[in-house]
Structure 1
Amino acid sequence: MTDNLRAAGMMTVALLLLTISDAIIKLISVSLPLSQIIVLRNGLIVLALLAVLARRRAAWQMSRRDWSLVLLRAVGEIGAAWFYLYALVRMPFANVVAVLQSTPLVVTLGAALFLGEAVGWRRLLAILAGFLGVLMIVRPGTDAFDVSAIYVLISVLFVALRDLCTRRLSAGVSSLTVTTISAAAVMAVFAVTSGADPWQPASPGLLTLVALTAGLVLLSYLAIIEAMRRGEISFVSPFRYTSLIWALIAGLMLFGEWPRLMTLAGAAVIVASGLFTLYREARAGRRRPVAAAVGPEMRP
Structure 2
Amino acid sequence: MTASTSAPLAKEADRPLLAIGFVLSAIVIFSIMDGIAKYLTGFYPALQVVWGRYFFNAVFLLPWLVLVWRDRPMATGQPKLQIVRGLFMLGSSGFFVTGLTFLPLAQATAIGFVAPLMVTALSIPLLGEKVGPRRWAAVLVGFIGMLIIIRPGTDQFHPAAIFPVLSATSWALGLIITRRMRHAERPVTTLFYTCVVGLALISAAAPFVWVAARMDYWLLMAAMGLLSVTGQYLLIRGFNIASASVLAPFSYSSLIWTTMIGYIVFQSVPDGWTWVGAGIVISSGIYVWHRERVNARPVVVPGASISPTATRRRWRIARGGS
Q: State the TM-score, normalizing by the size of structure 1.
A: 0.79
Pair 1:111 & 2:128 matched: no
Q: Please, which of 67, 75, 78 is the counterpart of residue 61 of structure 1? A: 75
The one-character-per-residue Cα deviations of 1:65-101 (angstroms, maximum 9, x if unpaired) are: x111111222222322222221122222222112211
Change (3 A) 1:50 1:218: same
1:1-300 equivalences in 2 (<5 Å): 3-54=15-66, 55-63=69-77, 66-117=78-129, 131-169=143-181, 171-203=183-215, 205-270=216-281
Q: 2:293, 2:124 → 1: CA distance?
A: 22
Which sits farther off after the overlay, 145-154 or 54-63?
A: 54-63
Q: How many residues in Structure 1 have an aligned counterpart in Structure 2?
A: 283
Structure 1 unmatched ranges of 5 or more: 288-300
Deviation, 1:229, is 1.0
- The CA distance in 1 between the partners of 2:128 and 2:293, in whole Å, is 23
The whole-number CA distance in structure 2 between the counterparts of 1:138 and 1:53 is 42
8 Å contact kept, 1:76–1:159: yes
Percent sequence identity over aligned pairs: 28
Q: 1:31 to 1:86 in 2, by over 3 A?
A: same
Does the residue aligned with 2:171 lie in a helix, a strand or coil? helix
Distance in 1 separating the partners of 2:16 and 2:133:
17
Unaligned stretches of 5+ in structure 2? 1-13, 299-322
Residue type of the partner of 1:177?
A: T
- Cα offset for 1:21? 0.6
**If the length of structure 2 is used for normalisation, what is the TM-score?**
0.75
Higher-Rg structure is 2
Return the structure number with greater relative CO, CA threshold 8 A, min gap 6. 1
User: Residue deviations 1:261-288, cap 9 Å, x none?
Assistant: 222233444555677788899999x79x
SS in 1 for 2:228: helix
- Residue identity in the other structure for 1:56: R
What do you get for the CA RMSD once the two structures are aligned?
A: 3.2
Q: Deviations over 1:27-65 (max 9, x none)?
A: 1222334333333332221132222122234222223xx
| SS of 2:72 mapped into structure 1 | helix
Most deviating of 127-136 and 187-196: 127-136
Structure 1: distance between partners of 2:64 and 2:137: 42
| Stretch of structure 1 that moved more, 254-263 or 163-172 | 163-172
Task: Tell me: CA distance 1:267–1:161, structure 2 relative to 1, closer, same or farther (3 Å).
Answer: closer
Contact 2:47–2:94 (Cα < 8 Å) also in 1: no
- Structure 1's 171 and 19: CA in aligned 2 closer, same or farther, altered over 3 A? same
Answer yes or no: is the 8 Å Cα contact 1:235–1:277 preserved in 2. Answer: no
